[in-house]
Structure 1
């Protein structure tokens, strides 16, 4: 395409596709007990003929449980598990004596055979069903040869990885058992910053560690979190999340699971992120049913359009092959060949304005709309092309293993 978009300093998102009003001296419970304005004035100017009658009172019971975190942990803790995985990795061992220079010096120029080594990892997870459905992060069990699931009571089970979805970093594991403790799923769609958040897991190998904090933000895009290849709108929390917490539950103050702890920012303190439970539930249902997840895919690279970006592109329009006239929207940088987007007629330089009738201004919003669409069914896209508005129909395909290809 000529000029690299890294030179522009931007990231290209790859779309693989009951209070009462107070009055002086008290308050009135209803209109029948409220005196008229004349009565109030009269009472202020003349002494009362009778001693004043006391106003009716009411009491409010406020539930305040100082041990709500402990109660939530007691409720969920037995269903939080430790996941130990092992995988065999083949490669050259970095041994100085295996250096080709030394081997030639000693008269041995035979090729060095690849060496095998075993890598171990530890993460967390939680039990969804009494018959052994467990959820964790995909990166916890990626490439694992063996998976051991350990319950809080010490019982160990060999786990079978039913499926993983690297696009959302969710994995499904099955263990053969019955009458297992389970978690209760909550709702993350109505979360607001400032609500309590509780994390349980096995950070740094320290089993059943509990940390607490608040919901710091919701709807963080994958680019903001630093994992642009994910299709997730993350929950941000300041509840401490460390290596080993991955795959464990994030709870609300009632002990309901609202997310899967998944990521930390190595360059910052107090920043942890979780996959919303609605996303995790949707993905795990597909994994347990089919062993894999199909994500809708268009085949475009896109960025958030800004006036600064517009000016940079227009200064070198011959290199990019198009000019931009708008200040905002979602700019298509490239339409990959032989993709649903290419077949529908989308072009480099198109600015996406709406997807299925919903106005969009960021690449993340476009990605959300596509992710919620159905593979093979029509998805309408309103774009601005050279100053003219056009509506195109795209039929999303299935996200390939390597969308860049």
Structure 2
């Protein structure tokens, strides 16, 4: 008895109509890249993006008003968007800070001031006291597509200047 003989008649009709190849992917043609080549290309794209943006990534340290006699501190990451020291971070990092500083990729620690924040979008704008800084150019958000891959670059959990 052939394996397809056990299938209901309707299923056999679909298989007969579509052909046996419908159950198996077609063999890769030589012009298709191997999975290893595709992963390598993706890896090169990510490391290239990181190399371009990393010089603008900063570690943010904040001090908040003391509670019960103990100073509150926090940290996060951000990225410089202008050569004269404006940077973007998260509102939940910078809002309410009484002191704020940024550690630049070259190791310098510079004081910062909260210019504004938007809790609804969780974004904050900070100005640091430094000039001639490497900065990341903001892209055009209208060109982003649903399902497009995003890369998170920052200093999570205090691991400064990591990805």
Provide the TM-score with structure 2 as the length reference.
0.69
Structure 2 counterpart of 1:344: none
* 2:86 pairs with 1:133: yes
What is the rounded CA distance, in whole Å, between the counterparts of 1:209 and 1:134 in structure 2? 18
The one-character-per-residue Cα deviations of 1:94-131 (angstroms, maximum 9, x if unpaired) are xxxxxxxxxxxxxxxxxxxxx32111111111101000
Structure 1 counterpart of 2:127: 174
Structure 2 counterpart of 1:70: 47
* 2:159 pairs with 1:196: no
What is the rounded CA distance, in whole Å, between the counterparts of 1:119 and 1:201 in structure 2? 22
The one-character-per-residue Cα deviations of 1:358-394 (angstroms, maximum 9, x if unpaired) are xxxxxxxxxxxxxxxxxxxxxxxxxxxxxxxxxxxxx
The one-character-per-residue Cα deviations of 1:126-178 (angstroms, maximum 9, x if unpaired) are 10100001111111012111111011121110001112222322211111211
Secondary structure at 1:77's aligned position in 2?
helix
Is the 1:202–1:209 contact (alpha carbons within 8 Å) kept by the matching residues of 2? yes
Structure 1 counterpart of 2:115: 162
Greater C-alpha Rg: 1
* 2:57 pairs with 1:80: yes
The one-character-per-residue Cα deviations of 1:232-267 (angstroms, maximum 9, x if unpaired) are xxxxxxxxxxxxxxxxxxxxxxxxxxxxxxxxxxxx
- Could you list the runs of 5+ residues in structure 1 that have no partner in the other structure? 1-63, 91-114, 211-405
Is the 1:88–1:145 contact (alpha carbons within 8 Å) kept by the matching residues of 2? yes
Provide the TM-score with structure 1 as the length reference.
0.29
- 4+ runs of 1 displaced by more than 6 Å? none
What is the rounded CA distance, in whole Å, between the counterparts of 2:161 and 2:94 in structure 1? 19
What is the rounded CA distance, in whole Å, between the counterparts of 1:164 and 1:193 in structure 2? 27
Higher relative contact order (CA 8 A, sep 6+): 2
1:185 CA displacement: 1.3
What is the rounded CA distance, in whole Å, between the counterparts of 2:61 and 2:128 in structure 1? 13
Structure 2 counterpart of 1:124: 77
Q: How does 1:270-349 map to 2 (within 5 A)?
A: none
What is the rounded CA distance, in whole Å, between the counterparts of 1:122 and 1:184 in structure 2? 23
What is the rounded CA distance, in whole Å, between the counterparts of 1:139 and 1:151 in structure 2? 20
Structure 1 counterpart of 2:100: 147
Is the 2:101–2:128 contact (alpha carbons within 8 Å) kept by the matching residues of 1? no
1:179 CA displacement: 0.8
Aligned pair count reads: 123
Is the 1:88–1:116 contact (alpha carbons within 8 Å) kept by the matching residues of 2? no
Is the 1:79–1:126 contact (alpha carbons within 8 Å) kept by the matching residues of 2? yes
